[in-house]
Amino acid sequence: MKRIIVMSMLSLFCAGMLPACNTMKGAGQDVQKVGEKLEDKAQDCKDGRC
């Protein structure tokens, strides 16, 4: 019985973590896009188009 409870809790924990992974992936993509825009702006300023 104890094993069933532990396995059930572990399954619920893993199921709860999956959406968090997708959220972190999306946040990482957003941060990457901001970094790319910042790089573009810095390059424009370096080229005298600030």
Both tokens of residue 23?
A: 């959220």
Range of the domain at 43: 1-49
List Cα–Cα distances, 27 to 3, 19, 41, in angstroms: 36, 12, 21
What is the reported pLDDT for 34? 94
* pTM, 2 dp: 0.57
List Cα–Cα distances, 43 to 12, 25, 46, in angstroms: 48, 27, 5
| pLDDT tens figures, 1-50 | 888 898 888 888 877 777 877 788 888 999 999 999 999 999 999 998 87
Which residue type, as a one-letter code, is found at position 43? Answer: Q
Which residue type, as a one-letter code, is found at position 31? Answer: V
Residue 44 CB partners (closer than 8 Å, separation 6+): 50
Number of domains in the chain: 1
